[in-house]
Amino acid sequence: MIAATPTSADWWMLVAIALLLCVLIVLSIAEMGLSRVSKPKAQALADSGSKGGQALLGLVSHPERWVNPLLLSVNVCQTVQATLTGVVSGRLFGPTGVAIGVLLNVVVFFVFAEAVPKTYAVQQPDRAALSTSKLISLLVGFWPLMMISKGLIGLTNIVVKGKGLEQGPFVGEQEFLGLVEAAAQEEVIEHEERELIESIIEFGDTVVREIMRPRPDIVSVDFGSTIDAAIDEAFEHGVSRMPVMSEDEDGNQDVVGIAYTKDLMKRIRAGEGSQSVDSLIRPAVVIPENKPVAKLMREMQRDHFHMAIVADEYGSITGLVTLEDCLEELVGEIVDEHDDEDPMVRSLPNGESLVDAGMAISEFNDHFQTKLDEDEFDTVGGFLFGILEHVPVTGESLEIDGWRFVVDELEGRRITKVRVLPVVDVE
Pairing outcome for strands 403-411 and 397-400: antiparallel
Determine phi and psi for 245, rounding to 5 degrees.
-105, 145
Q: Which alpha helices (DSSP H) does 105-172 contain, by range?
A: 110, 116-123, 125-140, 143-159
Q: Are residues 216 and 325 in the same domain?
A: yes
pLDDT, tens digit (0-9, with 9 covering 90-100), for 281-311: 999 999 999 999 999 999 999 999 999 999 9
- Which pTM does this prediction carry? 0.54
Does 26 fall in a domain?
yes
Q: Are residues 26 and 146 in the same domain?
A: yes
Contact (Cβ atoms closer than 8 angstroms) between residue 237 and residue 221: no
- CA–CA separation, 301 vs 319, rounded Å? 21
Domain boundary among 304, 331, 358: 331
Do 20 and 155 lie in one domain? The reply is yes
Segments in the chain below pLDDT 50: 1, 164-169, 426-427
CA 140 remoteness from chain centre: 35
Query: Do 294 and 310 reside in the same domain of the chain?
Result: yes
Instruction: State residue 25's pLDDT score.
Output: 86
Same domain for 365 and 271: no
Q: How many domains does the chain have?
A: 4
Q: Is residue 33 part of a domain?
A: yes
Q: Is residue 164 part of a domain?
A: no
pLDDT at 336: 60
Q: Is residue 166 part of a domain?
A: no
In tens, the pLDDT along 389-408 reads 888 888 888 888 888 899 99
Residue 163 pLDDT: 54
426: phi > 0 → left, psi -120 to 50 → alpha, else beta; which?
A: beta
- At residue 426, the pLDDT reads 46
Of the candidates 21, 27, 17, which has an alpha carbon nearest to the alpha carbon of residue 140?
Answer: 27
pLDDT for res 287: 94
Partners of residue 339 on adjacent β-strands = none
Domain membership of residue 258 as a residue range = 211-331
**Burial of residue 310 (number of CB atoms within 10 Å: 0-12, 13-18, 19+):** buried
